[in-house]
Amino acid sequence: MEKKTTISDVAKYVDVSKSTVSQYINGNHQKMSADTRKKIQNAIEYLNYRPSKQAQFLTTRKSNLIGVVVADISNMYSSLLLKGISQYFEHTNYHLIIVDAANSEIKEQKILQKLVDQSVEGIIIQPSNDNPSNYQFIANNQIPMILVDREIEDSPWLSVTTDNEAIVSKIMHSIVEKNYKNIIVVSQPIHRVNTREKRYNTIVDISNLNKLNVHLIEVDEVHCIDIQQVTKIIKSGKTAIFALNGTVLQDTIKLINNNNLNIPDDIGITGFDDFNVTEIISPGITSINQPSKLIGATVAELLDTTLKGTLVDEIDVPTIIKSEIHWRNSL
């Protein structure tokens, strides 16, 4: 059986003390020359040394773990978000624990408690709702937490989101100019999900100003869109569907195609997110593209900056990332 490389082997190879190697592994490089750091790194790679995480934790009381909780990992938005987060942290000493809350407040609470029990250094979360009391125990445990995609107002946590109200307004002004009379908003449950509420309220406000009728259809894993409800609305005047996220948008497009409705002659459609799929669907779907990967990298940088001890008021990282509209032929 091959002998496992120890910290003593690395120290002997470089001709430094075990203490120096330990300091390097634990990120204490301040009193170490660049040449020594390079030699230790080369020795670790050459000797294939793997530090004991348990020993590191006992020495530094730091786990180097970051918890990342997404609302729905099957959503393409979440996949690209995680890619941005993971690419940022791969250049650090942190390791990610990625967990799916499956749009469940109960499951999210259990996940967060497990992350606390595992002594994570920080948490990135796409919160299931905007109730700050659900997350107070994270603050009580003094674990830095950054919100992504959604906000919790009047809370101590920073969030990184897109410009929801501004980008929805642009789409809505186009809908108004094209003389639509009805707007069907299709969304997963809106109540207490800050991002969905902002998008929906913006649609309602602009519709009210321009005398458009707004119909809300909320769906989940159990309830699908009622095509009879949609066709009834279509008969009352020119109608457009506004889907509030990518999963719902794709499901709505399938529904329209399966029921032989023509876009945009019978019904217009738009929504979040683009992900290039809407480009290849005939006749091309006008959609909002959120830079999910950039949002992920930004929230990772924000948490990393916080973990380094920078005060919230001193952090110079953007918290609103602009989306863009891909104008096509669906409205």
Q: What percent of the chain has pLDDT over 70?
A: 95
Give the pLDDT of residue 61: 59
Residue 63 has pLDDT above 80, yes or no: no
Same domain, 190 and 273: yes
Provide the angle, in degrees to the nearest 10, between the axes of the packed helices 246-258 and 76-89: 150
Same domain, 210 and 276: yes
Same domain, 285 and 305: no
Q: Per the structure block, which two tokens stand in for 233?
A: 């609305």
Same domain, 126 and 100: yes
Same domain, 174 and 265: yes
Which CATH number is 251's domain given? 3.40.50.2300
Q: How many domains is the chain partitioned into structurally?
A: 3
Last residue of a domain, one of 35, 60, 85: 60
Residue 210 CA: distances (Å) to CA of 177, 198, 203, 215:
10, 19, 11, 15
Report the amino acid identity of residue 111.
I
- Mean per-residue pLDDT for 125-154? 93
pTM (predicted TM-score): 0.80
145 touches 135 (CB < 8 A): yes
Provide the pLDDT confidence category of residue 10 given band limits of 50, 70 and 90.
confident
Give the pLDDT of residue 214: 98
Same domain, 197 and 262: yes
Same domain, 157 and 298: yes
Same domain, 158 and 297: yes
Give the pLDDT of residue 144: 94
Residue 53 has pLDDT above 60, yes or no: no
How many C-beta atoms lie closer than 10 Å to residue 269's C-beta?
A: 25
137 touches 291 (CB < 8 A): no
Asked if the structure places residue 92 within a domain, the reply is: yes
Asked if the structure places residue 124 within a domain, the reply is: yes
Same domain, 105 and 12: no
Query: Can you name the residues that pair with 243 across neighbouring β-strands?
Result: 186, 271
Give the pLDDT of residue 308: 87
Q: Helix (H, G, I), strand (E, B), or coil: what is residue 14?
A: helix
HSE (CB half, 13 Å, CA atoms) of 103? 14
- Mean per-residue pLDDT for 125-144? 93
Those residues with Cβ within 8 angstroms of residue 113's Cβ, 6 or more apart along the chain or in another chain: 137
Which CATH number is 32's domain given? 1.10.260.40
Cα–Cα distance, 100 to 293 (Å, whole number) = 18
How many C-beta atoms lie closer than 10 Å to residue 9's C-beta?
A: 16
Asked if the structure places residue 1 within a domain, the reply is: no
Residue 1 has pLDDT above 50, yes or no: no
Give the pLDDT of residue 52: 61
Residue numbers of the domain that contains 157: 65-162+293-322
Last residue of a domain, one of 60, 82, 98: 60
Among the listed residues 148, 70, 85, the one whose alpha carbon sits nearest the alpha carbon of residue 296:
85
Asked if the structure places residue 307 within a domain, the reply is: yes
Asked if the structure places residue 2 within a domain, the reply is: no
> Which carries the bigger pLDDT value, residue 93 or residue 187?
187
pLDDT tens-digit map of 138-151: 999 999 999 999 99
Residue 312 has pLDDT above 70, yes or no: no
- Mean per-residue pLDDT for 293-307? 95
Cα–Cα distance, 319 to 331 (Å, whole number) = 31
Cα–Cα distance, 254 to 241 (Å, whole number) = 13
- Mean pLDDT score across all residues of the chain: 90
Give the pLDDT of residue 322: 96
Give the pLDDT of residue 58: 46
Give the pLDDT of residue 29: 73
Asked if the structure places residue 88 within a domain, the reply is: yes
> Which carries the bigger pLDDT value, residue 318 or residue 92?
92
How many C-beta atoms lie closer than 10 Å to residue 22's C-beta?
A: 18
Provide the pLDDT confidence category of residue 93 given band limits of 50, 70 and 90.
confident
Q: Helix (H, G, I), strand (E, B), or coil: what is residue 210?
A: coil
Q: Per the structure block, which two tokens stand in for 43?
A: 């020795």
- Torsion angles phi and psi, residue 61, rounded to 5: 60, 25
Same domain, 281 and 172: yes
195 touches 250 (CB < 8 A): no
Same domain, 212 and 195: yes
Provide the pLDDT confidence category of residue 321 given band limits of 50, 70 and 90.
very high
Asked if the structure places residue 25 within a domain, the reply is: yes
Those residues with Cβ within 8 angstroms of residue 222's Cβ, 6 or more apart along the chain or in another chain: none
Give the pLDDT of residue 71: 94
Last residue of a domain, one of 17, 44, 60: 60
Give the pLDDT of residue 224: 83
> Which carries the bigger pLDDT value, residue 135 or residue 57?
135
Question: What's the angle, vertex CA 34, arms to CA 31 and CA 36, rounded to 5?
Answer: 80
Q: Per the structure block, which two tokens stand in for 195?
A: 């991002």
Residue 57 has pLDDT above 90, yes or no: no
Asked if the structure places residue 43 within a domain, the reply is: yes
Query: What single string gives the DSSP state of each residue in 118-139?
Result: TT-SEEEE--SS--GGGGHHHH
Residue 311 has pLDDT above 80, yes or no: no
Residue 55 has pLDDT above 60, yes or no: no
What are the residue ranges of helices labelled H in the chain?
7-14, 18-25, 34-47, 53-60, 76-89, 105-117, 136-140, 164-177, 194-209, 227-235, 246-258, 277-280, 292-307
Same domain, 72 and 190: no
Report the amino acid identity of residue 47.
L
